[in-house]
């Protein structure tokens, strides 16, 4: 069953703790993306990667970090430096940049 899997669906963390969101795809896609969505706002790009062991900052990378050690995995770490981490996080992938993109079902992170 091909697709993009984000886990967990819901995540709760205490303020000041780092937390890692998982994104795995078995579509053999080269490019992967992380977005953040806040209520009433559009999706904003955090980081993207077009090839293993390489990634670039998006529009709102501060307070986040990523790694791309394997083609199928692109985990996102929300660090304690992120001032307002509570949001809905979405991961996407595409064969390469500028081709059809597919999204996971998202992780809702709540920091208390």
Partner 1 sequence: KQEVTQIPAALSVPEGENLVLNCSFTDSAIYNLQWFRQDPGKGLTSLLLIQSSQREQTSGRLNASLDKSSGRSTLYIAASQPGDSATYLCAPNEKLTFGTGTRLTIIP
Cβ burial of 4 (10 Å; 0-12, 13-18, 19+) is buried
Nearer to partner 1, 75 or 106 (CB): 106
CA–chain centroid gap for 74, Å, is: 7
Binding segment toward partner 1, per CB under 8 A, in 13-21, 62-70, 78-86, 94-102: 94-102
Nearer to partner 1, 33 or 74 (CB): 33
- Tell me the HSE value of 95 on the side-chain side, using a 13 A CA sphere: 3
Nearer to partner 1, 48 or 85 (CB): 48
Q: How far is the CB of 41 from partner 1 (least distance, A)?
A: 6
42 binds partner 1 (CB under 8 A): yes
- First vs last C-alpha separation in the chain: 35
DSSP one-letter string for 72-93 = TB--EEE-TT-S---EEEEEEE
Selected from 52, 65, 79, 108, the binder of partner 1 by CB under 8 A is 108
- Residues present in the chain in total: 112
Q: How far is the CB of 108 from partner 1 (least distance, A)?
A: 8
40 binds partner 1 (CB under 8 A): yes
């Amino acid at each position: 069953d091909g697709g993009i899997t984000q886990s967990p669906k819901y995540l709760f963390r205490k303020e000041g703790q780092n937390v890692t969101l998982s994104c795995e795809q078995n579509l053999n896609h080269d490019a992967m993306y992380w977005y953040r969505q806040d209520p009433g706002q559009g999706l904003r790009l955090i980081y993207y990667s077009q090839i293993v062991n390489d990634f670039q900052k998006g529009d709102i990378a501060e307070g986040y970090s990523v790694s791309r050690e394997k083609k199928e995995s692109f985990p996102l770490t929300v660090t304690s430096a992120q001032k307002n981490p509570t949001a809905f996080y979405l991961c996407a992938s595409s064969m390469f940049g500028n081709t059809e993109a597919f999204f996971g079902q998202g992780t809702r992170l709540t920091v208390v």
